[in-house]
Structure formats: structure tokens, C-alpha cells
């Protein structure tokens, strides 16, 4: 899979992808990443991209033509699906990451200042995604969230593809608590069931704790989930425990 990241700060992207799992995936040709700076497509001699918003208001807005020309240049090289990250987009979730991971070529546009001229969305954007109900200074961090969330779903990137199955949100629940050595410490002990070697009991404990954690911190996920008979039984147990 190939990612194109449109940003006025390409060095932020390049620094991030030069570390960890994504860096390894690039080295192993599991994915590839290009950065595109719309300043290079600006007709202003200083590469200026922003201007005051029509209708008044504070801040500056990114002009449409440099960004549209950037996307046009990307499309000349490859067919690509274009996503813009912005607060007014649809909320990003694990299902959307799965959908986007099926694309062969993905372009992500990062905004800055007060936003991007709306003609960019009208001209060349397929989808707008929001990473949460809050405001940041720019779209680079949301773009990297999108990049990392998608890239780890690509086959072979994590090394152990089975690890994805047990993660938060993949079954509509938060992940169960995790423990490692030492078994006992001044800060608490590992639950006995995890030391038992009984895989059936461990699986049931993990499911129950996953349900308990989700009920406690993300009841909204519980409200829209369809439960198996085992999950419904475990929820009754949890409620009975208070």
C-alpha cells in the first residue's frame, strides 16, 4: 500500500515514519510513503498558501489551488483515494480504518490555520475524517493517526497478524487487561487464572474483563453491540457483582 501525505511540514511526517514498526515495514516493502508539499504548487514567489477568510473572522485559510494542484499531480502518478482530516468529518473508528486499509493508494490531506478552502473538498476529496471532538493546530497529527492505524492492519506489518484480533474495538469492545512478569510485586499480583494454563478459563476471563472495562468506561459501545449468549451471561455476572 502506498500513502501520499499532503502537508506544509513534510519533515514532521518523515521524522515519524523513520522509527519503529512503520520504518521496518517501509524497509521490508510492506508499504511506502511519499510527502507532498503544496508550497511547491503555489504561484506566489514566496510559496505562500494562506489568506484571510471571506466574510471576516480571525485566522487564515489555506488557499484551494495549491492543494488541488498537489492532488492532481499525485493522481497523474497513480489512481488514489483522497481523505482530508478535519473536525467536521465523520468520526474515525476501527471499522473505517479497516475499510481504508483495503485501498492500494491513499492520499491524506493535512490542514492548517483555520482550515482549508472548501473548494478543495468539492474538487478532489473523497472523504473527510475526524479523529475526535477537539481542535489541534494542524492536521499532521490526525494524518499520522490515520497512517499508523491503517498501516498496522496491512498483512505482515505487525509481524504477528493474530495480535490484531484481540485488540480493542475489533469485536466492539475494549481490550482486556494485560500482565507480564513479575508474577508478584509490591504493586499487585497477576490474576491466578492467567497462570493456570487453562486456555478455556483464560479466554472466558479475558472476555469478561473486556466486557467489564467497556461497561465501565465506554457504555456507548455496549449500547450498539449485539451480544452472544456467552457475553450476555457474563454481563449478568458482572452486574451481579456490583
pLDDT digits (tens, 9 = 90+) for 183-207: 999 999 999 999 999 999 999 999 9
- Last residue within a domain, chosen from 159, 185, 211: 159
What pTM, to 2 d.p., does this model score? Answer: 0.89
- pLDDT for 162: 63
Same domain, 177 and 141: no
Domain count, the chain: 2
Give burial (CB, 10 Å; 0-12/13-18/19+) of 21. Answer: middle
What span, in angstroms and rounded, lies between the C-alpha atoms of 235 and 107?
42
**CA dihedral for 175, 152, 109, 81, sign (positive or negative):** negative
What span, in angstroms and rounded, lies between the C-alpha atoms of 85 and 26?
23
- pLDDT for 214: 96
pLDDT tens column, 101-126: 999 999 999 999 889 999 999 999 99
Domain, as residue range, for 153:
2-159
Same domain, 169 and 226: yes
Residue stretches of the chain with pLDDT short of 70: 161-168
Amino acid at each position: 500500500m502506498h500513502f501520499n501525505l499532503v502537508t506544509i511540514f513534510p519533515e514532521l511526517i518523515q521524522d515519524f515514519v523513520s522509527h519503529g514498526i512503520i520504518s521496518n515495514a517501509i524497509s521490508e516493502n510492506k508499504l511506502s510513503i511519499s510527502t507532498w508539499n503544496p508550497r511547491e504548487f503555489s504561484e506566489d514567489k514566496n510559496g505562500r498558501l494562506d489568506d484571510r477568510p471571506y466574510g471576516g473572522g480571525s485566522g487564515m485559510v489555506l488557499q484551494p489551488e495549491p492543494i488541488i494542484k498537489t492532488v492532481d499531480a499525485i493522481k497523474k502518478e497513480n489512481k488514489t483515494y483522497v481523505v482530508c482530516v478535519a473536525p467536521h468529518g465523520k468520526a474515525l473508528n476501527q471499522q473505517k480504518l479497516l475499510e481504508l486499509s483495503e485501498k492500494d493508494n491513499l492520499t491524506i490531506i493535512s490542514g492548517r490555520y483555520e482550515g482549508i478552502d472548501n473548494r478543495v473538498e468539492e474538487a478532489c476529496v473523497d472523504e473527510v475524517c475526524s479523529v475526535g471532538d477537539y481542535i489541534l493546530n494542524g492536521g499532521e497529527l490526525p494524518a499520522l493517526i490515520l497512517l499508523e492505524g491503517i498501516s498496522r492492519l496491512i498483512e505482515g506489518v505487525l509481524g504477528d497478524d493474530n495480535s490484531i484480533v484481540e485488540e480493542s474495538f475489533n469485536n466492539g469492545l475494549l481490550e482486556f487487561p494485560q500482565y507480564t512478569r513479575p508474577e508478584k510485586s509490591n504493586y499487585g499480583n497477576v490474576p491466578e487464572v492467567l497462570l493456570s494454563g487453562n486456555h478455556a478459563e483464560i479466554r472466558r476471563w479475558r472476555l469478561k474483563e473486556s466486557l467489564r472495562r467497556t461497561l465501565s468506561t465506554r457504555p456507548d459501545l455496549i449500547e450498539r453491540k449485539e451480544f452472544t449468549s456467552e457475553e450476555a451471561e457474563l454481563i449478568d455476572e458482572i452486574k451481579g457483582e456490583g
